[in-house]
Structure 1
Amino acid sequence: MTVLPLRPDLAGCEPYGAPELDVPVRLNVNENPYPPSPAVVSDIAQAVARAAAGLNRYPDRDFPELRAALADYLAVESGVRLSWEQIWAANGSNEVMLHVLQAFGGPERTCLSFTPTYSMYPEYARDTLTRYVTCPRRDDFTLDVDAVTEAIKRERPAVIILASPNNPTGTALPLDDVVAILEAARECGPAGVAGTDGTRDTHCVVVIDEAYGEFRRPGVPSALELLGRTDASGGARYPHLAIARTMSKAFGMAGLRLGYLAASQELVDMLRIVRLPYHLSAVTQATALAALSHRDELMSQVASLRAERDGLVDWLRQQGWTAYDSDANFVLFGPFADREAVWQGLLDRGVLIRVVGPDGYLRVCVGTPAEMERFRNALIAVTKEDHV
């Protein structure tokens, strides 16, 4: 047998991925259940056709038109006006996060996060040879800011990743907590970085992962609001803050693979150093721009998905389970003595959800009303008839 020089730390590792099964109701990977309308599909097809005519040329490697369109969208969605230079994009928010760890992580550097949280974070760290450290959340999945501050002082991380809403719990971070963490992260990054004015400590880069941000309940703010704050000199108050977003969830464009990030221009320019040449294809750019031109139509589905989510939480509680308040498009619920048996029972009835999060709990994402009705009926059948 041929022996290949796989990195020792990758030995025995399996590729990441949720089960991909052909079942009638798929509620396991937090997709938007509504496909794009014929009008959106038509505009995308025309945009791709135009792009195809120039595929002999490389695409615009810094894609200012797309970044400006994303900035315009964020101004409408969050009320925060940013310049296009403060926006970055890549093939899914996964690649955006990888750019962050490539730019700021690496050997002898640390990425800090708080569990339970998104299971890809340690893989971003692993792939960039960055040490990954976690600390626990409270029992209700909120953050103990004092404990976070102590962890920052102790670990001096280069990058802190905080999901808000958190996956798999759906928990959003209060803006005051984000501010406290940003202040604690000042000059608590890797020590002894040489600059033109001598050797000085750095700020930790704080990434707020808002992949599900559009689903937050009314009154729950976005961390984007903090990017507009200035210090006494008129500069950015939080140059070490980055907010990650995606078109996969609320936009219903998971197949597009377009994630993006908002931050100070200084931080964005550092990400440009590590991006591969022409990493966003001309077809991806054309598709994303066409989809963004229909932002009102695509975002109109969000309100109905929020209502379906809140109704699901109420229903689960009425059945006697614990269901956590969610600002995402999914709900964590349980506990079950044998969650694997519940998962399998649902799958046997044509409903696929996710075994993830704390022991005994399951996560279900919000589908169409018909899909949710089938989920509810299947869950009752599994837990009542099978006595699981």
Structure 2
Amino acid sequence: MTLAPIRPELRGKSPYGAPQLDVPVRLNTNESPYPPGPELVADITASVTKAVLDLNRYPDRDAVELRTALAAYLSESTGVTRTFEQVWAANGSNEVLQQLMQAYAGPGRTVLGFEPTYSMHRTIAESTGSRYISGPRRPDFTLDPDAAVAVIREEQPDVVFLCTPNNPTGLSLDPETVLAVHDAFGGLLVLDEAYIEFSHEESLLSLLENRPRLVVSRTMSKAFGFAGARVGYLTADSRVIDALQLVRLPYHLSTVTQAIAGAALRHRKGLLQHVEDTKKERDRLIAEMRFLELTVVESDANFVLFQVPDAPGVWRRLLDAGVLIRDVGVAGHLRVTTGTPAENDQFLRALRELGGSSTARNDRAGLPSLEA
């Protein structure tokens, strides 16, 4: 029986995904290694118990209480005053980005990113029928503002993605570079700050003032350790929020999701202490890996990108040792998520057993690279 034809631009594509394997140490998807503590679990349980009493009713379709709490968190943590009218929330930052593409990109419009970067930027853009262009980076993965401005002026995209700290490299952008990109075109600039809480640098939220074409997206998956809850958000001019309400599905955030996200925000002080622990461990990983004579990219995120001569082979040998990290498709590089001190010790021990910088001596070359 003949199937209905899929859209031509989707033919031959592979779905986004990272391997989910049952191994002792999983350091491949940039999750927090710290589960919710007992006080948060109790609050979530109570909040869900209250919420389920009204599950016969639709949720607050505008999630005003949650957006108000997110605005308070942004104001408190950055010193930049935000109101709920300037904040939007959805099921993970990917849905937030998808809604932006539905409103500001789509057929006949162009989206620009600078790869390597978060691969879902391209995927979401293309899935909404947009034309996606990859801009240049320097060999060290930094962004050359002059080169970025040149490609923007040539292509005149409708949407530009900048990721800071960037995934998978961990590098941050300075405000001057962001402003140079912003001023080079007349479309929407999306600043993806999914990992900003782990950064040595401050958030660039202050750049939003008097810049209605600038959007800053965030997630609760990383710093809040809420990857399983699927809550993402953005902050922007209130007119951007109005545009997103035109494309969002009705009642897109469930009553339960809104309830548990609110509980996490009430316990943010304790949750963000884990961020400080992760930052210390990330810096330790970098120092230890450099001691092994590995070339490591500086990181402002909760992961580290490092260079190896045979990335697929080293990935396989680490997996054989019970440690799962990520081959992100950057030639000669692997990415490791920062785990608990014990998990990081196991990863470092496995690296040492491979011979540190001598990981080039690997007779298992030719193994296939995993999808970025």
* TM-score of the pair, normalised by structure 1: 0.91
Match of 2:121 in 1: 121
Please state whether the residue corresponding to 2:154 is helix, strand or coil. helix
Rounded to whole Å, the distance in 1 between the matches of 2:331 and 2:82 is: 41
| Counterpart for residue 150 of structure 1 | 150
* Alignment match, 1:289: 262
For residue 326 of structure 1, report the CA deviation from its aligned partner.
0.5
- Please, which runs of 5 or more residues in structure 2 have no aligned partner? 363-372
| Aligned partner of residue 245 in structure 2, secondary structure | helix
Counterpart secondary structure, 1:322 = coil
Q: Report the Cα offset of residue 12 of structure 1.
A: 2.3
CA drift of 1:13 comes to 2.0
The one-letter amino acid of 2:334's match is: L
The whole-number CA distance in structure 2 between the counterparts of 1:38 and 1:145 is 46
Letter in 2 for 1:341: G
Q: 1:204 aligns with which of 187, 199, 202?
A: 187
Distance 2:41 2:280 in 1: 26
Matched to 1:315, the amino acid is E
Counterpart of 2:336 in structure 1 is: 364
For 1:212, give the aligned amino acid.
Answer: Y
Letter of the 1:381 counterpart: E
Q: Kindly tell me the number of residue pairs found equivalent between the two proteins.
A: 360
Instruction: Name the SS of the counterpart of 1:120 in structure 2.
Output: helix
Q: What is the identity, as a one-letter code, of the residue corresponding to 2:335?
A: R
Distance 1:7 1:116 in 2: 26
How far residue 83 of structure 1 moved from its aligned partner, in angstroms, is 1.0
Q: What residue in structure 1 maps to residue 207 of structure 2?
A: 226
Residue identity matched to 1:359: A
- Residue aligning to 1:353: 325
* Matched letter for residue 207 of structure 1: V
- The correspondence of residues 1-388 of structure 1 with structure 2, limited to 5 A, is 1-185=1-185, 203-217=186-200, 220-227=201-208, 229=209, 237-334=210-307, 336-383=308-355, 387-388=361-362
Equivalent position of 1:194 in the other structure: none
Q: Which amino acid aligns with 1:361?
A: H
Could you list the per-position Cα deviations for residues 175-233 of structure 1 after superposition, in whole angstroms to 9, with x for gaps in the alignment?
A: 11111211222xxxxxxxxxxxxxxxxx210001000010001xx12121112x3xxxx
SS at match of 2:194: coil
Q: CA deviation at 1:306?
A: 0.5
Amino acid across the alignment from 2:319? L
2:342 partner letter: A
- In the alignment, the residues of structure 2 paired with residue 110 and residue 222 of structure 1 have an alpha-carbon distance, to the nearest angstrom, of 27
Q: Secondary structure at the match of 2:246?
A: helix
Q: How far has the Cα of 1:381 moved from its partner? A: 1.4
Determine helix, strand or coil for the equivalent of 2:351.
helix
Structure 1 residue 2, shift from structure 2 partner? 3.7
CA distance in 1, matches of 2:311, 2:214: 38
Question: How many angstroms apart in 1 are the aligned matches of 2:39 and 2:106?
Answer: 45
Any stretches of 5+ residues in structure 1 without a counterpart? Answer: 186-202, 230-236
Residue 382 of structure 1, CA deviation: 2.3
Question: CA–CA distance in 1 between the matches of 2:45 and 2:130?
Answer: 41
Structure 1 residue identity aligned to 2:237: S
| C-alpha separation in 2, matches of 1:364 and 1:134 | 24
CA distance in 2, matches of 1:51, 1:5: 42
For 2:331 and 2:178, the matched residues in 1 are separated by 28
Q: Which amino acid aligns with 1:340?
A: P
Judge conservation of contact 1:343–1:355 (CA < 8 Å) in 2. Answer: yes
Q: How much has 1:78 moved relative to structure 2?
A: 1.4
CA positional deviation for 1:146: 1.2
Once the 2 structures are TM-superposed, how far is the Cα of residue 357 of structure 1 from its aligned partner?
Answer: 4.6
Q: CA RMSD in A?
A: 1.2
TM-score (norm: length of structure 2) = 0.95
Of residues 324-333 and 173-182 in structure 1, the stretch that sits farther from structure 2 once superposed is 173-182
SS of the residue aligned with 1:274? Answer: coil
The one-letter amino acid of 2:197's match is E
Q: Tell me, what secondary structure is at the counterpart of 1:178?
A: helix
What amino acid does structure 2 have at the position aligned with 1:346?
Answer: L
**AA paired with 1:169?**
T
> Separation in 2 of the partners of 1:75 and 1:282?
25
Contact kept in structure 2, 1:175 and 1:222, CA below 8 Å: no
Q: Do 2:136 and 2:147's aligned partners in 1 also have CA atoms closer than 8 Å? A: no
Contact 1:317 1:323 in 2 (8 A): yes
Deviations 1:39-81 (A, max 9, x none): 1011001101111000000001111110010011111221111
Cα distance in 2, alignment partners of residues 225 and 383 from structure 1: 46
Alpha-carbon offset, residue 262 of structure 1: 0.5
Kept after mapping to 2: 8 A contact 1:331/1:364: yes
Contact kept, 8 Å, 1:342 with 1:383, in 2: the verdict is no
C-alpha distance in structure 1 between counterparts of 2:211 and 2:78, whole Å:
18
